[in-house]
Structure 1
Amino acid sequence: MSRPTGLRAWLAIYLKGVCMGSADTVPGVSGGTIAVILGIYERLIAALTALDPAIVRHLPTLHTTEGRSALAADLRRADVPFLLALGAGALSAAATVATVMHVAVTRYPAPTYAFFFGLIGASAIVLYRYVEIGTPRRIAVAAIGFLVAFSITDPSLAGTSTTTLPVLFAAGAIAISAMILPGISGAFLLLLMGQYEYVSGIPRRVFAGLLDALGGNVDPLVDSLVPFVVFVSGALVGLFSVAYAVRAALNRYREDTFVFLVSLMVGALRLPIREVTDNVAAVSSTTVFVVVVPAVLGVVAVLLLDRYTVDLEY
């Protein structure tokens, strides 16, 4: 497996994590879509499924030079440094960039979703260059992928549901699949399950609990940490379950799997199209400018990424 060398490559991975984390915090674009766009999808799947619990066997020997060297070698073999850099970027986005993305989606939905449309549409075109869909089976696979994403991203499906710990666990397991499956936003899946508002408020409640704990009252912190831990536990279960399923599909049917994944992206274009049309009151030169320019910027962003990151081996 190729390894990045130099600050530029590691910074690129971190920034790609930022992009993935930003995408998955708003009901629109999947972090998995961003991983495919940025060329790290297969490496992400490989790294997630390379993690081996047996690595804990090194813990008793960490006080020795040999033990630490053996642990470091196993971590590099499992590509853990890549996951750490990518995860650090995603967590940074959750704490910072995601706020900007949320403001953009809520205050300026038409240009923001137009940008998403250009980003996803251009990415699908670029990625289709690397797959062959000229067989009846792959045409059928592409149609299924398109229909799955088109159906799931129906905004009218969004609803409300009582929040309980089992519901939060299931929500985490289902929503995290968006980091693996391109085209379906984790935030949008939470919206469909009626849990988006509650889950998006968890970080704020944990932070408020920390402040209360510093003042001597730990009860709010405990109350906020319990749903957080349950949601994250569900997310971890879902993350690795879907990752192993995708790895098995890639190993056995690589071309068909990529046709399906890219077609998911195309089907998911329904959401940005719906958001743009719902937030444009009337067609005019101004509204055309507001929609077309961001869409073109999304296309240009993908083309630039495709051109200037092709020399980086991921």
Structure 2
Amino acid sequence: MTTPDQQDMTLHQPGRSLKDYLFVLLKGLCMGAADVVPGVSGGTIAFITGIYDEWLSSLKRCTPAVLLRLKREGIVKTWQYINGNFLVALFGGILISLKTFAAVVLVAMDTYPILVWAFFSGLVAASIYHLVREQRGWGVSEAVGLLAGIGFILAVAHMAPAQLPDHGWILFLGGFVAICAMILPGISGSFILLLVGLYPVFLRAIHNLEIDKLLWFGAGCICGLVAFSRFLLWLLRSYHNQTLSVLIGFLIGSLYVTWPWKNALLTTTDSHGRVVVLQQENLNPLNYLAATGHEPTILLAVVWAGLGVALVLGVELIAMWIKRRHG
């Protein structure tokens, strides 16, 4: 078994080509699109696409201590140490997605909500299968962690939303907590923002480029990334089975959040006239038409859920084929 330091030595991948980094950028685009949708986690996408460990390990190195390394070893070696190319490609994709592709996802959510949620459910279901295969064994502690993870997500999903003022320090705390949620599979950072009433503020700040608010929020995100990524990476290395069981519980619980047939209980309207759902309930698809007046499109939803499953399994099969070919 390798130590954390030995594992860190394998972090940098000098063999990556421009094409490889374009794929990392694409994964960042998917993470950004997921993070803007309440109920879907960018951490889940990182898990699905196989970059979760490298992402956390790279973030772990971005501490104030890296400035000493910069002075001692120079820009090139320090950049390699923090896996800078990977981080730039990944976060570049996330930021581009937040500003552009996220709008497409939001339109799709408004136009075809059942199909989009079904697709996300398929992604999550397949990633659960993937993580269960990674689990090294099940015991009492793992079972307790699994149930705790499920219970936590269900508790968060049933919380009533609040409304906090958009002061700078509140935006900082919102960014800190939301980015920690983004790192964890199954917990949506945007859903946390919804719970505290900052989601419309965040979307409006991005759309209108309100620099002061974005700086406060971004500072909170950076601090949250650096602090929480180190803690989570330590958990995965020190208590792998127990931590993985909790993460599996998060994903199982998130299937409740991504259930396609929903009925809005509480909504609000943002500054651009778009309706934002604050609280909703899950419905039996057989009762969906009577409750909402809309067709449940069950067959299409099953097809799109299958596409989500196929996408994850397909990516995994391709990764295995590439590994065998170059191994």
TM more than 0.5: yes
Unaligned segments of structure 2, at least 5 residues: 1-9, 263-281
Aligned with residue 241 of structure 2, among 246, 249, 255: 255
Separation in 2, partners of 1:106, 1:169:
29
Q: Which has the higher helix share?
A: 1
Tell me, yes or no, if the aligned pair for 1:30 and 1:184 is still in contact at 8 Å. yes
- 2:100 match: secondary structure: helix
Q: Which has the higher strand share?
A: 2
- TM value normalised by structure 1: 0.84
Q: Please show how residues 201-216 of structure 1 align to structure 2 within 5 Å.
A: 201-206=204-209
Q: Does 1:237 align with 2:247?
A: no
Separation in 1, partners of 2:42, 2:221:
14
How much does 1:282 deviate? 2.7
Counterpart for residue 297 of structure 1: 307
CA RMSD of aligned residues (A): 2.4
- TM value normalised by structure 2: 0.81
Rate the CA distance shift 1:92–1:138 in 2: closer, same or farther, 3 A: same
Counterpart for residue 140 of structure 1: 144
Counterpart for residue 287 of structure 1: 297
How much does 1:28 deviate? 2.4
Aligned with residue 126 of structure 1, among 118, 130, 135: 130
Q: Which whole-Å deviations, capped at 9, do the CAs of 1:221-263 have from their partners, x for residues lacking one? A: xxx3221111111111112121111022122112221221122
Separation in 2, partners of 1:60, 1:239:
23
Counterpart for residue 22 of structure 1: 33
Q: Does 1:83 align with 2:87?
A: yes
Counterpart for residue 174 of structure 1: 177
Out of 286-295 and 190-199, give the one that drifted further: 286-295
How much does 1:198 deviate? 1.0
Separation in 1, partners of 2:108, 2:300:
13
Out of 190-199 and 271-280, give the one that drifted further: 271-280
Q: Which ranges of 4 or more aligned residues in structure 1 deviate by more than 6 Å?
A: 58-61, 283-286
Aligned-residue identity in percent: 32
How much does 1:303 deviate? 0.9
Higher relative contact order (CA 8 A, sep 6+): 1
Separation in 2, partners of 1:28, 1:18:
17
Separation in 2, partners of 1:236, 1:79:
16
Rate the CA distance shift 1:172–1:288 in 2: closer, same or farther, 3 A: same
Unaligned segments of structure 1, at least 5 residues: 62-66, 207-223
How much does 1:57 deviate? 5.0
Tell me, yes or no, if the aligned pair for 2:115 and 2:260 is still in contact at 8 Å. no
Separation in 2, partners of 1:279, 1:205:
39
The aligned length equals 288
Tell me, yes or no, if the aligned pair for 2:150 and 2:253 is still in contact at 8 Å. yes
- 1:129 match: secondary structure: helix
Out of 28-37 and 130-139, give the one that drifted further: 130-139
Separation in 2, partners of 1:116, 1:18:
15
Rate the CA distance shift 1:279–1:72 in 2: closer, same or farther, 3 A: farther
Q: Which whole-Å deviations, capped at 9, do the CAs of 1:110-139 have from their partners, x for residues lacking one? A: 111011111101110122111034211111
Counterpart for residue 7 of structure 2: none
How much does 1:148 deviate? 1.0
Separation in 1, partners of 2:17, 2:58:
20
Q: Which whole-Å deviations, capped at 9, do the CAs of 1:132-191 have from their partners, x for residues lacking one? A: 34211111111111111121122x523333322222111111111123111011111100
Rate the CA distance shift 1:286–1:185 in 2: closer, same or farther, 3 A: closer
Q: Does 1:6 align with 2:13?
A: no
Aligned with residue 51 of structure 2, among 34, 40, 48: 40
Rate the CA distance shift 1:275–1:243 in 2: closer, same or farther, 3 A: farther
Separation in 2, partners of 1:134, 1:58:
41
Tell me, yes or no, if the aligned pair for 2:261 and 2:296 is still in contact at 8 Å. no
